[in-house]
Structures are given as C-alpha cells and as structure tokens.
Amino acid sequence: MNDTVAAIATPVGEGGIHIIRISGPEAVPIASTLFQSQGGTRVADLEVQKVCYGNLIDPASGQAVDEVLLIRFRAPYSYTGEDVVEIHGHGGAYVSSKILKLVLDQGARLAEAGEFTRRAFTNGRLDLSQAEAVADVIHAASDKALTSALAHLKGELSKKLNALYDALVQVLAQLEAAIDFPEEGLEFQQKQKLDQNIQSTNIEIKKLVDSYRQGRIYREGLRVALVGKPNVGKSSLLNALLQEDRAIVTPHPGTTRDTLEERVRIQDIHITIVDTAGLRHQPDEIEEHGIERTRHALAQSDLALVIFDGSHALDTNDAMLIKEVADKKKLVLLNKSDQPTVIDPNTLLKQVKAAEALSLSATQGEGLEALRDSLYQSALEGKTSGESLVITRERHRQALAQAQEALGRVSHSLQEDRSEDLIAVDLNIALEHLGGILGKTFVDDLLDQIFVDFCIGK
C-alpha cells in the first residue's frame, strides 16, 4: 500500500473523455515527467483541485500523445487520502491505453480491482460499510437502490452502528471495572440497569437485521415465481408483464418444461419474474424434472404469484398447488377473467390462506395495472425509501445477527447473576461482529473478498 498505482477510471471503449487516476507518493513526480502545462507551470506547483490544460508528452520521443486536462489532489484531501493526479484525455481506447502505459513506464503499478477504494478505507477516508456502499452506488439499478446506497455512503449506517458500538463499549467498561476491582462488586440494581441498556441496544440491532429483506430488495430487486397447474396462463402472464413474446404459449398443457427468468422494472423497483413448469399429479419424466425446478424457484423467491384458472373449477392439481405454497408469501391471481368465472374468490382465499385475489386476463391485458401495483406494494411492504435505515448486504445481516445472539446471552447472564468474566466474553463477541461491519476488526481475506467485486479504477 506504499507504492503508486494507476488505472483507467472510465469504461473501456470510445467516448467523450477518459480519466486515468494515479495515487501514491510518486503520483506528482510521474505526472511531472509526462505533463506540460500550456503556461509552463510544473505539476508540483499547480493549485490543488484546479483544472490545468496542457499536453501529455512521451518522454522517449518528446512528442505530444494527447491534449489533456490535469487535476492534482494533495493528501489527505483526496479520494484515497494520498497524493492523487487525474489525467482527463480524449476518450479513445488506444490513446487511453497509451497514456496509461506511459504512466506505468514511469514506475507506477497497475491498480487492482477496487484498490483506490481500499486505500481510502486503509487511510481512514471511509469505513468498511461506506467502502461497500461505493460499489452499491455504481451498480444501483433503481432509485431506491441508489437512495439506500447513498445513505450508506454518507455514513448513516456507520453513524448508527458506531452509536451502538460505543454504547456497548461503555457497558464493557463497567464490567471490566468490576473484574479489575472485585472487592467493589456490582449491586443487583446496577446489573439490572446494564441489562436494560443491553436489551435496548439489542432491539436496535434487531431492527437492522429485520430490515435486510427490504434492503436486499432495494439492492437486488424482488424475486417473483409464477406458479400454477399446467395451462393456467403463467407464460401468457410473463409475456404480458414483459410486453413481448418471451415465453412459448400453446393451448397444450405442459408446454413449459423448465424455468424461464426475466427482469421487468415497475416504477423504481426491479422485479425478477420466474416462469415455471406447471404443478400436477403423475407428470412424465421430463415434467418431473421441471416440477423439481419449480419447487426450487418457489423456495428462492420473495413472492409467489399463485395462478388459478378462474373459468374452471378447482381440481386435485389445484389442491397440490395450494399445499406447495402454504407457508409462502403469496399473491393469488384468478386468470382468464375474459371467460365466465366459476371459482368463488372468498372460498379460494380461505383455502390458500391469502388476503386478496386479483382477477385478470393475461391474454387481454385486463387487470395488469392492478397486478403491477400489488407487486410494487409487495416490494415496498408499505414502506417509503426514506422511512428508515435498511441494510442491504448479507455480510452485514450475518454480523448483526451474530451480535444479536451474543447480546442475548449477555442479557441472560445478567439476569442469572453470572460472573462478569463470562458476560464480558459475549460482550466482546458482539463488539467484534459490529466492528467487523465498520472495519474496526477485520482480516485481509475479508478485504480481498469485498474489493475483488469492484471494477479496476475504483
């Protein structure tokens, strides 16, 4: 982390401009070798965070490679916390790679994926949760994903976790005092007060753990499985939602033998829709494999769209379907509303144990807007994006859940009047997990795992 790295920070290909970022102790000397300002000012004498126009020169030939703009950032007031120079040139693939090669020839090393952001973390410019949020901002595919990522990048999650961390440190300090000075002891009332503090902190941690489903949907989208017996209109509904003929539709039952996955955007939430093979008794061998994949898709989904043919009475295949979705979060659909309906919605809802049944016709487009609204509300669960802080990463959820378990043991030990040494052990475990999210406690393997998903140049 003490050398100088460089990379192209803009996407590969042709465009209006390219940006080459250089970070490290030799950033300014390297740029000085290659850059000639129009007025002759040396890079070392340039005003920081000011744009300077000039030419990028090949030292071997003395010829200009490109007309560029150069910006200098002085440590620690840069993205990485180090001396940084950015070269903005014309956006051609050849010219950008040529300039990068000249920079590397002067002694810089090609940056690894996410290395600039990793240096920002190492130098204290960002904590680990903020560093992860950088990637989330880049990959955000919806307004809510972007809003959530920006909140994390601005430090809202960090502020919350640091407050919880500091509260636990205060509790640990009291316990350590009791351990160091056993002759003083802790009165029961003091332990009772400590327990109240622990439980209060654990409630806040639980709120964050419970927010993960919502946060993951913001970040990755809602995953929806279309399930039903053969020929109820699952593939027709997929095509209607996509507004294109993506799935093959025939009047013959069992046309869909495998899962088909597509994405559609509803307002500012991405919905991944999985069309599945029909569930029915006594399938043939190929259908049996398809039904197993249907069950897998159902298990992996956030929501099941349970589709019934409203123009036919319920049969044993429908009963099989109802059993399969018994414990699943679901939305009931009565398809083929363009034909006479013979199923009583109220009776069906009692059997499926659902609150509402939507009537629609996938082929005619009737009821699709109501379905889109219901899907959107299922994604939000009645919340607005600015209503509360949510976590969006499984790593955070696991760490918080483990901290929650440790604090549960702390609370139990306090109530059972166990020794301060045992209580301190679990309290330290909770602090370790909270600190792991922020980067207060970490191992290099964790950092490698996090930053490998970044693009080179960020």
294 plus 368 within the same structural domain: yes
154 plus 182 within the same structural domain: yes
Answer whether 292's CB lies under 8 Å from 243's CB. no
Cβ count near 109 (within 10 Å): 14
299 domain-assigned: yes
CATH number, domain with residue 224: 3.40.50.300
- Evaluated on CA atoms 238, 240, 243, 244, the torsion sign reads positive
Whole domain around residue 355: which residue ranges?
Answer: 218-380
pLDDT tens digits along 285-309: 666 777 888 888 888 899 989 999 8
417 plus 300 within the same structural domain: no
456 domain-assigned: no
Which residues on neighbouring strands pair with residue 66, listed in sequence order? 56
Cβ count near 304 (within 10 Å): 25
* Sheet (strand 15-23) strand order: 35-37, 51-57, 64-73, 84-91, 15-23, 5-8, 109-110
Among the candidates 331, 358, 380, a domain finishes at 380
Q: What does the pLDDT read at residue 188?
A: 41
457 domain-assigned: no
Distance of CA 127 to the CA centre of its chain: 17
288 domain-assigned: yes
Q: What does the pLDDT read at residue 189?
A: 47
Among the candidates 332, 359, 380, a domain finishes at 380
Give the DSSP H or E segment for 275. Answer: strand 269-275
Segments of the chain scoring below 70 in pLDDT: 1, 178, 180-189, 244-258, 282-287, 382-387, 442-443, 445-446
93 domain-assigned: yes
91 plus 203 within the same structural domain: no
80 domain-assigned: yes
Q: What does the pLDDT read at residue 231?
A: 82
396 domain-assigned: yes
167 plus 49 within the same structural domain: no
Q: What does the pLDDT read at residue 106?
A: 95
241 plus 360 within the same structural domain: yes
Half-sphere exposure for 374 (CA within 13 Å, toward CB):
20
164 plus 201 within the same structural domain: yes
352 plus 245 within the same structural domain: yes
Q: What does the pLDDT read at residue 252?
A: 47
CATH number, domain with residue 158: 1.20.120.430
Half-sphere exposure for 215 (CA within 13 Å, toward CB):
24
245 plus 299 within the same structural domain: yes
The share of the chain scoring above pLDDT 90, in percent, equals 41
The share of the chain scoring above pLDDT 70, in percent, equals 90
Cβ count near 179 (within 10 Å): 14
CATH number, domain with residue 23: 3.30.1360.120
343 plus 224 within the same structural domain: yes
338 plus 236 within the same structural domain: yes
- How many structural domains does the chain have? 3
Which residues on neighbouring strands pair with residue 23, listed in sequence order? 5, 84
Among the candidates 354, 380, 406, a domain finishes at 380
Q: Looking at residue 366, what DSSP letter applies?
A: B
- Closest of 393, 404, 450 to residue 426, by C-alpha: 404
Q: What does the pLDDT read at residue 318?
A: 85
Query: What CA–CA distance (Å, rounded) separates 127 from 9?
Result: 22
Residue type, 123: N
pLDDT tens digits along 407-418: 999 999 888 888
116 domain-assigned: no
Half-sphere exposure for 207 (CA within 13 Å, toward CB):
14
Q: How is 34-57 classified by DSSP, letter by letter?
A: HEEETT---GGGSPTT-EEEEEEE
242 plus 349 within the same structural domain: yes
- The CA-CA-CA angle for residues 435, 448, 118, to 5°, reads 70
